[in-house]
Amino acid sequence: MNRNAKTIAVPEKDVRMARSRIGVEPIASQYKGMVSAADGIGRVAAEGKFVGGSYANHAGKRSYKLYIPGAFRGQALPLIVMLHGCSQDPDDFAVGTRMNTIAEENNCFVLYPAQTESANGSRCWNWFEALNQKRNLGEPSIIADMTRDIIKTCRIDTRKVFIAGLSSGGAMAAIMGTTYSEMYAAVGIHSGLPYASARNYSSALTVMMNGNGAGEQDGNARLIVVPRRKTMPTIVFHGDRDTTVHPSNGDQIVAQLISIAAHHGRLPEGESFPHITVGQGRVNNGRTYTHAVHRDHDGRIIAEHWIVHGAGHAWSGGSSLGSFTDPRGPDAGREMLRFFLSHA
């Protein structure tokens, strides 16, 4: 548990009831009889519960944390899958993004899969390995099967399952949206990279630093040939002073989505550019931003692209209690959930 989080003891019978609802047991004894309390800054909301579990399939085993909203009484609710970045863990990511607090306000579950140090020494999701860019293999299969398990045990509304991530988690969210487009209704990518933009560690460093990697056209071509049941609505956030993942990766994510939309006939014949609406704004006492909405010929949104001016490699609008956050930016968590629910 994050060392800054407050804890309060609850009756063991209530803990057993919470576990029985979702069919999991805590992953460490430190969670027994304890739930985190809210302080209004991004820790777990007091009304809900934050519990741990694990899931294993043929590709491996990963632990997770699950936020259960206080209003849950067995009814079908939305689920947001949140993939942390390098050197983070579910507790840190939940605090930094404030997503549990946002989910409590909107009656949503939040699932935080955890990467292991044995899989990656920096706890990054291995988005750059070809094995992890395919359906039913590697880390994507673990995340997908874990999602299915939570959907089943928590009676999740299957029309309202979403996935988002930061940095390596953002890159993995792009992979999940591509390879499991029937499972997720929308995707959020913060400071991430396009699908299949690297095939090994060396090319990953290239695309992170330069933003071109295998090349935009090559990346688009690979994305088009991946079988998809639908074009995935995606919201992208990126700081234009990001020196860890080059900001042009956000542009290339959007370019891939537009290419897919054209492939699915969502743009007028012979045209490769959607209708774009661009606006600018400023957070009170904070950063300026540019917000672009890309729509197809029927007016349906293909992508939203938020460029946060002056921001580095950090979750926009997050809490300073978490790592890799920028409290001065627009609230990426709230904007993502607003976008997600509009595409359910």
Give, for all 344 residues of the chain, the pLDDT tens digit: 333 333 333 333 333 333 333 333 332 322 232 233 333 333 444 589 999 999 999 999 999 999 999 999 999 999 999 999 999 999 999 999 999 999 999 999 999 999 999 999 999 999 999 999 999 999 999 999 999 999 999 999 999 999 999 999 999 999 999 999 999 999 999 999 999 999 999 999 999 999 874 444 444 434 444 545 567 999 999 999 999 999 999 999 999 998 888 776 676 655 656 789 999 999 999 999 999 999 988 888 999 999 999 999 999 999 999 999 999 999 999 999 999 999 98
Separation CA 176–CA 343 (nearest Å): 17
Distance of CA 220 to the CA centre of its chain: 21
- The answer to whether 26 touches 53, Cβ cutoff 8 Å, is yes
Cα(101)–Cα(36) distance, integer angstroms = 11
Helices (H), the chain: 12-22, 90-97, 99-106, 138-153, 168-179, 201-210, 216-225, 248-263, 332-342
Do 50 and 26 touch, CB atoms closer than 8 A?
no
CA separation for the pair 295, 333 (Å, rounded): 22
Please state, as a whole number, how many other Cβ atoms lie within 10 Å of the Cβ of residue 57.
15
Instruction: Give the per-residue pLDDT at 263.
Output: 72
DSSP line for 84-127: --TT--HHHHHHHHTHHHHHHHHT-EEEEE---TTT-TT----T
The confidence score (pLDDT) of residue 228 equals 52
332 contacts: CB under 8 Å, gap ≥ 6? 97, 188, 190, 237, 306, 315, 316, 317, 318
Token pair for residue 99? 């997503």
Report the pLDDT value the prediction gives residue 271, as an integer from 0 to 100.
60
Do residues 325 and 314 lie in contact, with contact meaning Cβ atoms separated by under 8 Å?
yes
Identify which of 41, 35, 30 has the alpha carbon closest to the alpha carbon of residue 11. Answer: 35
Locate 50 and state its tokens. Answer: 């934050």
> Taking the CB of residue 29, how many other CB atoms lie within 10 A of it?
7
pTM recorded for the entire structure: 0.84
3-state secondary structure of 257: helix
- Degrees (nearest 5) of the Cα angle 286, 290, 296? 145
> What size, in residues, is the chain?
344
